[in-house]
Chain A
Amino acid sequence: MKEIFTIHKNLLSGVESLASEYIDDVFDYYNSFLEEGKPYPDILYNLIILYLWLDKKEKISSYLSKLLQKNNHYSKYLNLKKYIKNQSSKFKLPSKINKKIKKEIPKKVYEFYLENKEKFDERPFFIKEFYNILGDYARFSNRNEDAFDFYLFSFLYSKNISELYKNIGACYNSENDLERAYKYFKKSIKKNNGQDSDTLLEFSHICAELNKEKEALSSLLTIHKNNPHYPDVSYRIGKYYLDKSEIEKAKLFFEKALDINPNYSAANIDYFYILLKENNKKEIIEFFKRLPDSRDKDIFEFFYTLQFSKNFDKSFDIFKKYDDFMEQIFIGFWNHIINSIDEKNKIKFLNYIEDNNLLSIDKLNQFKEVLLKL
């Protein structure tokens, strides 16, 4: 993909006519989620914006009440409610592009803005959201050049350069151009002082892929500081520390993730590993008490029994309960946990299987190899 600021083919010929080509498909796309009984919050939000643009009031209020039933603490949705209820002047978009922002956009785009200033200045906020929605749809449809034109149009209404950089970053990200995605997400974060969690999260993934793990961690910690209630963010921070063998910190963040979501499977696996590595029998028992009954719990009990109670009847019962458990052991999924179990316990368990003819010779040999050669 070319440097995106050089492409704005539709800007002069008419983004509005391009929008009219998209609008029916965009409506169908978002409505299809509701028809399937999947009223995800962002789907409702986007439909409300689309109906505001069409000025169809009857749909707006019913979708708004659905949206706020479960999501009444997100400022994005609360702002939409305020706008709909009050249509307040403070929700109007800015009246001019300031000098600092002017320096960051191409001259042609600025000239286009000046020629059409009255169209873009002090308009209701939903218009810029409308063009962002079209931009997202074009991006999902792999039409990034159209997406950029919509995003640029949205910017001319909002004058929000941070949002424009975020959207350009998203275009590059979907093209797998990670270096450029990194550059634009970073600019976006700098412009809004790290206030947008979605951008920070996406940025953290890009940083991780580019082997800039410290920068990824820093983004995740910023999100966590602003809002400590995202289990995925706490889990990823824990995972970073676990990879770096900073066990106490890892444990703390896995606990945070599990406080919010006790069924968080990956967090449970990594947390159990730490407890087992610490040989912390007491904490493991407490952990089991908090853990809902599940396949994960059974499997942890298998490893616990192997290490502490040596009740091999019970271990083997759990072992044979799940068809794919052995396969997971073979591909190495449980390596870190198996490594934390005493060698003599593993040998005793294998002897127990052999003495009681519980596995075929082939399977037993395979199992021996995995269990003892880690």
Chain B
Amino acid sequence: MTVSDFRLTSLVRRLVVQMNFNSNLLNISVINGVAYLKGEIEKNDPTIRKLKKKYKFSDKVLDKKLAQEYKAGLKMLDRNIVRAPGIRGVVYQLKNWEKKAGTGWIRKSTRGST
């Protein structure tokens, strides 16, 4: 039985929230079984915010660490969505990150996007 886009949208939203991405900054929909995420990627979980606040990293090191965290989070999110039953693929239109065939996730600007 085909799963409705209506139902799949709620499933994809759960996967986004599970990864601690701020779902309020994203439009999440499913169209023809293809997940569609448009907007901004921002992580809300305390671990990431502690990283920013508590450790005395230089800006460059912090930036690199955050980019790694986001990249890993996006990779896992993408994998979870693609594996979800009923989902045929994902289309991303994100302000601050881009998924490139071959190279994976790339941040669009170097500062201020995470």
Tell me the minimal C-beta distance from B110 to chain A in angstroms.
16
Please tell me if B56 contacts chain A, counting CB pairs below 8 Å. Answer: no
Q: Which residues of A contact B4 (CB under 8 A)?
A: 213, 243
Expressed in whole angstroms, the Cα–Cα distance for A138 and B53 within the complex equals 18
Contact status A266-B7, CB under 8 Å = no
Please tell me if A5 contacts chain B, counting CB pairs below 8 Å. Answer: no
Tell me the minimal C-beta distance from A260 to chain B in angstroms.
13
Interface membership of chain A positions 12-48, coded 1 if the CB is closer than 8 angstroms to chain B and 0 otherwise: 0000000000000100110110000000000000000
Contact status B6-A331, CB under 8 Å = no
**Residue in A closest to B54 when the chains form the complex, CB atoms:** A28
- Given B14, B31, B44, B93, which contacts A205 in the complex, CB threshold below 8 Å? B14
Q: Which of B75-111 contact A (CB under 8 A)?
A: 88-89, 91, 93, 101
**Residue in B closest to A30 when the chains form the complex, CB atoms:** B49
Please tell me if A264 contacts chain B, counting CB pairs below 8 Å. Answer: yes
Contact status A29-B38, CB under 8 Å = no
Please tell me if A270 contacts chain B, counting CB pairs below 8 Å. Answer: yes
Contact status A209-B7, CB under 8 Å = yes
Known: A140-B20, A243-B6, A266-B27. A332 touches B44 (CB 8 A): no
Q: Which residues of A contact B53 (CB under 8 A)?
A: 28, 31-32
- Given B11, B13, B14, B32, which contacts A332 in the complex, CB threshold below 8 Å? B32
Please tell me if B5 contacts chain A, counting CB pairs below 8 Å. Answer: yes
- Given B9, B31, B33, which contacts A269 in the complex, CB threshold below 8 Å? B31
Please tell me if A236 contacts chain B, counting CB pairs below 8 Å. Answer: yes
Interface membership of chain A positions 216-255, coded 1 if the CB is closer than 8 angstroms to chain B and 0 otherwise: 1000000000000000100110011011000000000000
Residue with the highest number of chain A CB atoms closer than 10 Å, among B7, B20, B38: B7
Expressed in whole angstroms, the Cα–Cα distance for A324 and B94 within the complex equals 13
Contact status B34-A333, CB under 8 Å = yes
Please tell me if A265 contacts chain B, counting CB pairs below 8 Å. Answer: yes
A-B contact count, CB below 8 Å? 91
Contact status B20-A208, CB under 8 Å = no
Contact status A331-B7, CB under 8 Å = no
Tell me the minimal C-beta distance from B73 to chain A in angstroms.
15
Tell me the minimal C-beta distance from B31 to chain A in angstroms.
6
Q: Which residues of B contact A208 (CB under 8 A)?
A: 6-7, 9-10
- Given B49, B93, B101, which contacts A265 in the complex, CB threshold below 8 Å? B93
Expressed in whole angstroms, the Cα–Cα distance for A373 and B29 within the complex equals 25
Known: A265-B93, A269-B31. A213 touches B49 (CB 8 A): no
Contact status B13-A205, CB under 8 Å = yes
Contact status B10-A209, CB under 8 Å = yes
- Given A140, A232, A236, A332, which contacts B6 in the complex, CB threshold below 8 Å? A236
Q: Which of B45-85 contact A (CB under 8 A)?
A: 45-46, 49-50, 52-54
Known: A209-B7, A236-B9, A243-B5. A32 touches B44 (CB 8 A): no
Please tell me if A336 contacts chain B, counting CB pairs below 8 Å. Answer: yes
Expressed in whole angstroms, the Cα–Cα distance for A208 and B3 within the complex equals 11
Expressed in whole angstroms, the Cα–Cα distance for A208 and B9 within the complex equals 9
Expressed in whole angstroms, the Cα–Cα distance for A29 and B45 within the complex equals 9
Contact status A25-B46, CB under 8 Å = yes
Expressed in whole angstroms, the Cα–Cα distance for A236 and B50 within the complex equals 35
Tell me the minimal C-beta distance from A257 to chain B in angstroms.
11
**Residue in B closest to A237 when the chains form the complex, CB atoms:** B6
Q: Which residues of A contact B7 (CB under 8 A)?
A: 208-209, 211, 213
Please tell me if A88 contacts chain B, counting CB pairs below 8 Å. Answer: no
Q: Which residues of A contact B91 (CB under 8 A)?
A: 324, 328, 331, 333
- Offer 22 A-B interface pairs, CB within 8 angstroms, sorted by A: A25-B46, A28-B49, A28-B50, A28-B53, A31-B53, A140-B20, A205-B10, A208-B7, A209-B11, A213-B7, A236-B6, A240-B6, A242-B5, A243-B4, A243-B5, A266-B36, A266-B38, A327-B101, A331-B89, A333-B31, A333-B34, A336-B31
Chain B: residues with CB nearer than 8 A to chain A?
4-7, 9-11, 13-14, 18, 20, 27, 29, 31-34, 36, 38, 44-46, 49-50, 52-54, 88-89, 91, 93, 101
- Which A-B residue pairs are the 8 nearest by beta carbons? A331-B89, A266-B29, A208-B10, A205-B10, A333-B34, A243-B4, A32-B49, A335-B32
Known contacts A208-B10, A240-B6, then 10 further A-B pairs from the complex at CB < 8 Å, ordered by chain A residue? A25-B50, A29-B46, A232-B27, A239-B9, A264-B27, A265-B27, A269-B36, A270-B31, A332-B32, A333-B89
